[in-house]
Amino acid sequence: MTQVKHLTRLSDLTIEEIMTILETANQYAEGGNVPQLTGKVVANLFFEPSTRTQYSFAMAEHKVGLHTLDFTAETSSVQKGETLYDTVKTFEAIGVDGVVIRHPQNNYFDELIPNLNIPIFNGGDGSGNHPTQSLLDLLTILQEYGEFEGLKIAIVGDIAHSRVAHTNIEVMNRLGMEVHVVAPEQFQEVGYHWETLDEVIEEMDIIMLLRVQHERHDNGMSLTKEEYHQQYGLTVEREKRMKDGAIIMHPAPFNRGVEIANEVVECERSRIFKQMENGVYVRMSVLTHLLG
């Protein structure tokens, strides 16, 4: 694999590089030998709330033998006005070998990379990019179908505010998947052909649901939770209309009874918790590729 200095955008990686990361992650998932990065230290800098990304990175770091420093903005010099740049340069100066960063600013890493000599692992930037989430989604799909070419996926929900959607749409198109997008008008963006869930649900191999990101909305949601569920949610009735062998995905956290019915979250088609499991293997893979 060509050495990648940072993992910030999947659009910066070739298909060959992406497939190498996925193949290594799958080897780890199957119990393959895991190299140990003994003596190296990674700092986890999360400026936004996180459960899955933060703690699956932590588990991945543990499994590859890394020491970790866990940063909390609320108890740091950020409260005294320290910039993101100066915070990251501080961790570089004290000797860490890499930084995992989640930050509300889109493309926060552009100001860091020119003057940083350690790799950035992007844990999510604003509504822009979420490379490791997309990689774990791809690994889950690859395990299910063995390929990407020709698969049909509907990404449903708050597209405009979703870094998961933006990252997945770009990479899935490059991999030869047929990507359909479904969203209320409030969550739509220019440049896409918008469809309804009922129009596409019987044809899709994958239904990927997105959380309504209330924290990124200035004026709230125009639909009630009940209206959203009936018009755009994966209801029990819609799940029954999905074709044989089709699967359900969600990056989580999920709002039960809004974008997905409670009864559907752990149904036979659901791969939601499999995605979470795969998040550890994907993050182990990117850590060993960039730090190994």
| pLDDT tens digits for range 112-135 | 999 999 999 999 999 999 999 999
User: At residue 163, does pLDDT exceed 90?
Assistant: yes
Print burial letters for 78-113: b (CB count within 10 Å at least 16), e (below 16).
Answer: beeeeebeebbbebbeeebbbbbbbbeeeebbeebe
Backbone φ, ψ for residue 55 (5° rounding): -85, -25
> Among 292, 278, 275, 234, which Cα is nearest to 59's?
278
Lowest-confidence region among 22-26, 80-84, 148-152, 235-239: 80-84
16-46, pLDDT tens digit by residue?
999 999 999 999 999 999 999 999 999 999 9
Torsion 95-99-102-108 (CA) sign: positive
Domain ranges of the chain: 10-131+277-291, 134-270
**Domains 10-131+277-291 and 134-270 in one fold:** yes
Please report the pLDDT score of residue 219 as a whole number. 62
- C-beta separation of 171 from 134 below 8 A: yes
Query: What tokens appear for 177 in the block?
Result: 């998947």
Residues annotated in the binding site for L-aspartate, as ranges?
80, 163, 211
Kindly report, residue by residue over 202-247, the tens digit of the pLDDT.
999 999 999 886 554 456 667 899 999 999 999 999 999 999 999 9
Question: Taking the model in full, what pTM does it have?
Answer: 0.94
pLDDT confidence of residue 139? 98
Binding-site positions read 52-53, 80, 102, 130, 133, 163, 211, 252-253
Q: Which fold has domain 10-131+277-291?
A: Rossmann fold (3.40.50)
Residue 160 to residue 81: CA distance in whole angstroms: 30
Q: Which CATH superfamily is domain 134-270 in?
A: Aspartate/ornithine carbamoyltransferase (3.40.50.1370)
Which residue is associated with the tokens 């020709």? 150
Q: Judge contact between 127 and 166, C-beta under 8 A.
A: yes
| Residues in binding site for carbamoyl phosphate | 52-53, 102, 130, 133, 252-253
